[in-house]
Amino acid sequence: MSAILSADDLNDFISPGVACIKPIETLPAQASEDNSNPYEVTTEDKVAASQPPPPASISLTDCLACSGCVTSAEAVLVSLQSHNEVLTTLDAHPPLHPPWMTHNATSNGYTNGTSGEHGEGKLFVASVSPQSRASIAAVFAVSEREAGNMISQLLSGHQGLSSGGVHGSGFTWVLDTNVVREACLVAAADEVGTALASGSKAPTAGSEGALDTSPQRPILTSACPGWICYAEKTHPYVLPHVSRLKSPQALTGTLIKSVLHRRFNIHPSQIFHVAIMPCFDKKLEASRSELTSHAWLPEDDPSQDAVRDVDCVITARELLHLAAARNISFSDLPRTPLPSSQRVPFPDPKLDAFLFPSHSVDNHSPVAGSSGGYLYHILRTYQAQHPGSEISVSRGRNADVVEYSVARDSETIIKAARFYGFRNIQNLVRRLKPKLSRMPGAAARGAVRRPGGAAANQEAMKEYAYVEVMACPGGCTNGGGQIKVSEVDEIRGWAEDQSEGTTGEVKTTGAKDQKVWLARVDEAYFSADSGSDGDVDMDDTEDTAVEKTRNGDAVDGISRDYIRDVVEHWAGITGVEKTKLLYTSYRAVESDVGKKKQSDVERVAGLASSIGGGW
């Protein structure tokens, strides 16, 4: 799905006009009092000719509420969330000065001194995924760290977006999702441990995927929105197995907006959060109604309309278009970090030390994969809890199916697996599908297990405690929003000194060359080095917090005690339960496509009976 989506090539996708089930209601315009004739009789054809209906408008929310198609929804969202949307918002709103930096602001409110005749200001925040940085690093032959610095210079530096535009607006913070991902990894391991220890029961009908339920074994990753959309629309029986944990993208948006709103009284609509992600499916995720301010605001909070935690998602490819639209040569941007004097601290010192650590957060090893390392961190957590145990790896039917196990003294402690790509996902969901007997009364008794077949597949799947599921073959570095090998020369040509400033140019664009190119992106992703940037001036509080991450109950360099302490602090200062901050819910989407449509007579009869009338 996401691996082939492109705004320039949509001719192989379902047209929204073919399978869309959204009802479009067009009411005739009211005639003015001067020309109105209450006694005039006309025909529908005449009215239609004189009053052509306006173009049908279908929003992304409408598409997410329909299972008539998946790809048409993605086609719609390409025009809704793009670099043009970012530029339009930057030009429409002046930058909002953080309240803790103004002299006339209180600790629980803000004073917007830049509003006035230009309208209400906004606080601009961006979060960048390591896969997007790796894609840009491969294009410009720089390290992943240098690519991240160039992105920060574009979004927040003086030579970047703030140097132009109507108001000179730039991004106050550029966050690394690797940091928030550490909280996701710890929460994922805790979720698996709790679910396996409690032996979660099958949910009642209608509560599959609910926030207050625990996932069933095997627990399936929820960080890939393409996979989640596919499950909700086509295989809702797998929802009881899906992890309730938010992705790093969603968790970053919740963290920023909940803290600034609850503690500093900045309304979520005043914060514009842009996420730079490797695939178009992340646009689907940002548009989910479950990932809005209504999910975490207390019931007694006088909130108006729901505000999305992530306002706009762009890809690595669109980020370069963003620079080109402002006539900024991305390759000429400084490859060094922003000066420490230019960095705006996050208002809460503890969260500032968490979001902007003095040391770089490492990517995982190739064993962990290119999709965040959920599975590997869970295995390492169980290995740490059982000294002397070892992790064994066994390749499945292809490179995107891998089985893992943690064992000690011939005793298997936990088994897990990785399924990447929709070809393998189809096999996964087929093995999880319950088999119902066709005998009368079988539906009331539930599934009837037979020797072999579906029942055997289900039992085999239950041996896995956790399955990491990703829609893209090869993982997130192969996302549809990543820069393709056929685009490399064109992008490098945007730079004036491209003949001298780039190395390792790719001249051909065949399938084999794309695999070579993906290997370069993976190399950039896995080779992210650690250590200080050398230009970050941390105070004693931050140094203490960073030192704490290196001690305690650490797994793969991530201190579980420290992460839990940060989450507790987050929940404490916002007054919101951790469950609402960290987790979300999923729902089955019923399809009306192909079903018999209700006739006008049946519709009117149903409406009449519902209000006490009849024929």
H or E element that contains 176: strand 173-176
What is the mean pLDDT of the segment spanning 278-294?
A: 89
User: Which residues, 6 or more positions from 280, have their beta carbon under 8 angstroms from its beta carbon?
Assistant: 2, 5, 74, 77, 78, 315, 479, 480, 481
Q: What is the DSSP string of 524-571?
A: HHHT---S--S-----HHHHHHHHHHTSSSEETTEEHHHHHHHHHHHH
Assign 363 a pLDDT band (cuts: 50, 70, 90): low
C-alpha 70/C-alpha 58 separation (Å) is: 14
Q: Render pLDDT for 158-205 as a digit per residue (tens, 0 to 9).
A: 888 888 878 888 899 999 999 999 999 999 999 999 888 877 566 665
| Confidence band, pLDDT 50/70/90 cuts, at residue 440 | low
Task: Answer yes or no: are the C-beta atoms of 335 and 146 closer than 8 Å.
Answer: yes
Distance, CA of 371 to CA of 247 (rounded, Å)? 11
Characterize the bridge pairing of strands 219-220 and 466-470.
Answer: parallel
Q: Do β-strands 390-395 and 401-408 pair in parallel, antiparallel, or remain unpaired?
A: antiparallel
Residue-wise pLDDT tens digits, 540-553: 444 444 444 444 57
Is the pLDDT reported for residue 302 higher than 60? no
Neighbours of 326 (CB within 10 A): 16
* Lookup result for tokens 């004036």: 496
Q: Identify the band that residue 16 occupies on the pLDDT scale cut at 50, 70 and 90.
A: very low
DSSP secondary-structure letter at 503?
-
pLDDT band at residue 438 using 50, 70 and 90 as cut-offs: low
Beta carbons of 208 and 240 less than 8 angstroms apart: yes
Residue 9 has pLDDT above 50, yes or no: no
CA 63 to chain CA centroid, Å, is 17
Query: Which of the pair, 569 or 77, is modelled with greater confidence?
Result: 569
pLDDT at 147: 94
The most confident of the ranges 77-86, 199-208, 546-555 is 77-86
CB atoms under 10 Å from CB of 441, counted, come to 7
Tell me if 129 sits within 8 A of 181, measured CB to CB: no
Tell me the CB-side half-sphere exposure of residue 109, using CA atoms within 13 A: 6
Strand segments, DSSP code E, in 369-410 are 390-395, 401-408
| Cα–Cα distance, 578 to 570 (Å, whole number) | 8
Structure tokens that stand for 23 in this block: 């009802």
Question: Alpha helix (H) ranges present in 301-421?
Answer: 316-325, 349-355, 374-385
Residues 393-403: tens digit of each pLDDT:
998 888 899 99
Which pLDDT band holds residue 606 (cuts at 50, 70, 90)?
low
Task: Give the residue, 542 or 28, on which the prediction is more confident.
Answer: 28
Residue 1 pLDDT: 46
Q: Is the dihedral of CA 62, 246, 152, 537 positive or negative?
A: positive
Estimate the crossing angle of helix 177-198 against helix 374-385, to 10 degrees.
Answer: 60
119 or 21, which is more confident: 21
- 220, containing H or E segment: strand 219-220
**Residue 39 has what pLDDT?**
66
Q: Contact 271/468 with Cβ under 8 angstroms? A: no
Interaxial angle between packed helices 177-198 and 248-264, expressed in degrees from 0 to 180 and rounded to the nearest 10: 100
| Angle 53-59-64 from CA coordinates, rounded to 5° | 130
Please name the helix (run of DSSP H) or strand (run of DSSP E) that holds residue 124, with its range, or none: strand 123-128
Segment among 431-440, 459-468, 479-488 with least mean pLDDT: 431-440
Is residue 232 pLDDT above 70, yes or no? yes
**Helix 511-526 / helix 130-140 crossing angle, nearest 10 deg:** 120
Q: What angle do CA 259, 261, 267 make, to 5 degrees?
A: 150
Mean pLDDT, range 93-98, rounded to an integer: 82
Would you place residue 577 in the very low, low, confident or very high pLDDT band (cuts 50, 70, 90)? very high
**Higher-scoring residue by pLDDT: 111, 62:** 62
Q: What's the confidence (pLDDT) of residue 563? A: 94
Q: Which range, of 10-14, 64-68, 329-333, averages the lowest pLDDT?
A: 10-14
Question: How confident is residue 354, by pLDDT bands cut at 50, 70 and 90?
Answer: very high
% of the chain residues with pLDDT over 90: 37
Across all residues in the chain, what is the average pLDDT?
76
Q: Which residue has the higher pLDDT, 6 or 596?
A: 596
- pLDDT (0 to 100) of residue 544: 42
The burial class, CB within 10 Å (0-12 / 13-18 / 19+), for 390 is exposed
Average pLDDT over residues 467-489: 89
How much is the pLDDT for 549?
42
Helices and strands counted in the chain (H then E): 24, 11
Q: Provide the pairing of β-strand 312-315 with 271-277.
A: parallel
User: Within 144-247, where are the H helices?
Assistant: 144-156, 177-198, 225-234
Average pLDDT over residues 52-80: 54
pLDDT at 300: 57
- Give the span between the Cα atoms of 373 and 327, in whole angstroms: 37
Element (H, E) at 411: strand 411-420
CB 312 within 8 A of CB 272: yes
Terminal CA-CA length for the chain: 49
Cα(385)–Cα(427) distance, integer angstroms: 32
Beta bridge partners of 261: none
509: number of Cβ within 10 Å? 15
DSSP 42-111: --HHHHHHHSPPPPP---HHHHHT--S-SHHHHHHHHHHSSHHHHHHHHHHSPBPPPGGGSTT--TT---
Q: Which residue has the higher pLDDT, 60 or 192?
A: 192
Please provide the DSSP assignment of 275-299 as one string. Answer: EEESSTHHHHHHT-TTSBGGGTS-T
